[in-house]
């Protein structure tokens, strides 16, 4: 049978040439068309947020992820281990060697150079490395029993963000925005406040993968123009006419394309970008904030890195206040080569520098959200992708800690998480989890639960199966949340 022909205005398409759709309709008894139609219906069904996933009363509406790239040391921050100091310099022995983390029997225990104290009314243990975060200890829900998969930055970064060590999946921010939509049509639902550093694993950490492109992150830089081309070069009416023409052409192309959702997502991004031209410069301009608020965050610091991080942290509050669903703040890299918290050497010097740059702003963010009545509806997450080994090859003034995924710490604040608690335990040396083991899928499931989303029901049909942030894993950690 001769395939029918059609007239098409798609670029590169020859008039009279049979289209792919008409060819599939008339070849192989039409079975090719049935398969393609099934794929289209899967993609169409997945194009809109899954309302069926909202099965719990929402305790929170927004998320701010303070990503501590490189892996802060758990035994120097939130997990005190006096035995490390007592046995410092002694070989760890065969029994302490891990198959997951960097270790060998000849390595020696390394005590923390910082003192731990119980803080606030809760008595939560926080080290002197974090004097400002210690002041908000009663707001923190610390998990001390995180277990990772591989002692590699790229894989652990992707695991934290996408739930997969290989990536190739939407980030947590994309899933949250897909599931909840936006509260402000003039702003993107997912924003990354970047500090001139892309973590290992690349931009895939912030991508939408097979979700429509409208759910990927919009990145705002810390200084200068926050977003490229945010100021229009054309007069308003001319710009509107150009956008209308682009939309018309893209809609026509979408009708002929096998991936119409990608094109519709691009159209949505154009429209959001147009509306952002008036809102983003205003949100990014923290000079509107009172001087005491800027000072509380550390915007007045003489340290350039701290000043930039403080600016981004203050912008994070302004963004969630304006209705942005998911905001991530990345850490600045001091030398542009290493992950910021990746101290294989010079532990004391460099952990103190990272703490000085970030922890005042994180504490200020929690305080600021609370005093504005926003902390109850905003989940603040402080997390690296891994911890640091409680041992080192050799004790010296410049020694450090290596990659450790057998047990590490993160914390949440606000959003219905129980304040002033520590959950889970590592052994007496901080070397491995011994009680209430938690993985990132459990954290993802619990965060979605607090947003009113059933992590098993928030799915997207792609490649012939339903995908979700937690894949086939994840449990809601009821002990972490206010009942």
Question: What is the token pair recorded at 342?
Answer: 């990746």
What is the pLDDT at residue 25?
A: 44
In a domain, 261, yes or no: yes
What is the pLDDT at residue 259?
A: 65
Residue 146, strand partner residues: 408, 438
Residues 256 and 193 in one domain: yes
The Cα–Cα gap between 396 and 71 comes to: 21
- DSSP, res 198: P
**Tens digit of each residue's pLDDT, the chain (483 residues):** 444 333 343 333 333 344 444 444 444 444 444 444 444 444 444 444 545 577 789 999 999 999 999 999 999 999 999 999 999 999 999 999 998 998 999 999 999 999 999 999 999 999 999 999 999 999 999 999 999 999 999 999 999 999 999 989 999 999 999 999 888 888 999 999 998 788 999 999 999 999 998 999 999 999 888 887 666 666 666 666 766 776 677 677 667 665 666 666 666 665 666 666 768 889 999 999 999 999 999 999 999 999 999 999 999 999 999 999 999 999 988 776 689 999 999 999 999 999 999 999 999 999 999 999 999 999 999 999 999 999 999 999 999 999 999 999 999 999 999 999 999 999 999 999 999 999 999 999 999 999 999 999 999 999 999 999 999 999 999 999 998
Residues 27 and 169 in one domain: no
The Cα–Cα gap between 167 and 216 comes to: 14
Residues 27 and 68 in one domain: no
Count the neighbouring beta carbons within 10 Å of the beta carbon of residue 395.
12
In a domain, 300, yes or no: yes
Residue range(s) defining the domain that contains residue 244? 55-480
Is 472 in a helix, a strand, or coil? Answer: coil
Residues 375 and 412 in one domain: yes
Question: What is the token pair recorded at 126?
Answer: 């926080």
What is the pLDDT at residue 66?
A: 98
- CB-side exposure of 468: number of CA atoms within 13 Å? 20
Packed helices 236-256 and 260-284: angle between N→C axes, nearest 10 degrees: 150
The Cα–Cα gap between 393 and 371 comes to: 46
Residues 213 and 276 in one domain: yes
Phi, psi dihedral angles at 422 (to 5 degrees) = -120, 130
Closest CA to 146 of 105, 201, 100: 100
Is 87 in a helix, a strand, or coil? Answer: coil
HEC-encoded secondary structure of 268-295: HHHHHHHHHHHHHHHHHCHHHCCHHHHH
In a domain, 10, yes or no: no
The Cα–Cα gap between 478 and 446 comes to: 8
Residues 113 and 42 in one domain: no
Closest CA to 219 of 200, 243, 203, 201: 203
Residue 399, strand partner residues: 345
The Cα–Cα gap between 93 and 470 comes to: 36
In a domain, 9, yes or no: no
Number of domains in the chain: 2
Residues 40 and 114 in one domain: no
Question: What is the token pair recorded at 328?
Answer: 């991530």
Write down which residue in 29, 49, 69 finishes a domain. 49
Residues 207 and 243 in one domain: yes
Q: Is the dihedral of CA 51, 57, 61, 67 positive or negative?
A: negative
In a domain, 354, yes or no: yes
What is the pLDDT at residue 300?
A: 97
Residues 203 and 229 in one domain: yes
**H helix runs in 100-213, sequence order:** 131-134, 153-162, 172-180
What is the pLDDT at residue 383?
A: 98
Closest CA to 120 of 143, 99, 95, 140: 140
The Cα–Cα gap between 301 and 55 comes to: 45
Q: Tell me the per-residue pLDDT of 39-79, one tens digit each, with 9 for 90 and over.
A: 444 444 444 454 557 778 999 999 999 999 999 999 999 99
Residues 212 and 246 in one domain: yes
Is 415 in a helix, a strand, or coil? Answer: coil
Can you give the CATH number for the domain in which 244 is found?
3.40.720.10
Residues 473 and 398 in one domain: yes
In a domain, 211, yes or no: yes
Note the pTM of the prediction, 2 decimals: 0.85
Closest CA to 3 of 16, 15, 14: 16
Question: What is the token pair recorded at 361?
Answer: 């702003």
What is the pLDDT at residue 182?
A: 83
What is the pLDDT at residue 329?
A: 98
- The alpha carbon torsion through 242, 246, 248, 249 (nearest 10 deg) reads 140
Residues 316 and 272 in one domain: yes
In a domain, 291, yes or no: yes
Packed helices 172-180 and 153-162: angle between N→C axes, nearest 10 degrees: 10
In a domain, 14, yes or no: no
């Amino acid at each position: 049978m001769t395939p029918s022909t059609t007239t098409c205005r798609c670029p590169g398409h020859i008039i009279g040439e049979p289209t792919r759709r008409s060819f599939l309709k008339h070849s192989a008894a039409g079975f090719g068309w049935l398969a393609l139609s099934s794929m289209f219906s899967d993609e169409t069904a997945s194009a809109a947020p899954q309302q069926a996933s909202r099965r719990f009363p929402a305790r929170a509406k927004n998320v701010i992820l303070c990503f501590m790239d490189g892996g802060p040391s758990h035994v120097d921050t939130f997990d005190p281990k006096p035995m490390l100091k007592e046995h410092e310099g002694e070989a760890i022995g065969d029994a302490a060697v891990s198959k997951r983390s960097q270790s060998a029997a000849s390595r020696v225990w390394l005590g923390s150079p910082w003192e731990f104290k119980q803080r606030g009314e809760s008595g939560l243990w926080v080290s002197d490395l974090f004097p400002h975060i210690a002041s908000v200890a009663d707001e923190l829900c610390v998990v001390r029993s995180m277990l990772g998969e591989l002692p590699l930055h790229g894989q652990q970064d992707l695991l934290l963000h996408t739930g997969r060590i290989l990536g190739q999946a939407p980030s947590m921010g994309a899933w949250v925005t897909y599931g909840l939509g936006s509260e402000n049509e003039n702003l993107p639902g997912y924003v990354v406040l970047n500090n001139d550093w892309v973590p290992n694993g690349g931009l895939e950490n912030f991508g939408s993968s097979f979700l429509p492109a409208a759910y990927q992150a919009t990145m705002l830089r810390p200084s200068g123009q926050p977003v490229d081309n945010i100021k229009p070069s054309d007069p308003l009416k001319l710009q509107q006419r150009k956008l209308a023409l682009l939309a018309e052409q893209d809609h026509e192309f979408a009708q002929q394309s096998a991936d119409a959702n990608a094109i519709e997502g691009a159209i949505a991004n154009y429209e959001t970008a147009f509306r952002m031209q008036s809102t983003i410069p205003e949100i990014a301009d923290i000079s509107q904030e009172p001087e005491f608020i800027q000072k509380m965050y550390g915007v007045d610091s003489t340290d350039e890195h701290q000043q930039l991080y403080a600016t981004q942290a203050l912008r994070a509050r302004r963004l969630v206040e304006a209705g942005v669903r998911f905001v991530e703040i990345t850490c600045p890299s001091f030398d542009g080569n290493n992950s910021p918290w990746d101290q294989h050497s010079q532990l004391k010097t460099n952990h103190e520098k990272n703490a000085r740059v970030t922890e005042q702003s994180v504490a200020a963010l929690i305080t600021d959200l609370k005093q504005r009545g926003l902390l109850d509806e905003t989940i603040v997450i402080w997390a690296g992708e891994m911890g640091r080994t409680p041992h080192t090859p050799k004790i010296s003034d410049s020694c450090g800690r290596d990659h450790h995924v057998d047990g590490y710490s993160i914390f949440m604040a606000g959003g219905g998480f129980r304040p002033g608690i520590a959950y889970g335990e590592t052994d007496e040396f901080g070397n491995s989890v011994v009680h209430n083991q938690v993985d990132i899928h459990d954290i993802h499931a619990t965060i979605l639960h607090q947003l009113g989303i059933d992590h098993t029901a928030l799915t997207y049909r792609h490649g012939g199966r339903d995908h979700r942030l937690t894949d086939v894993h994840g449990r809601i950690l009821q002990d972490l949340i206010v009942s």
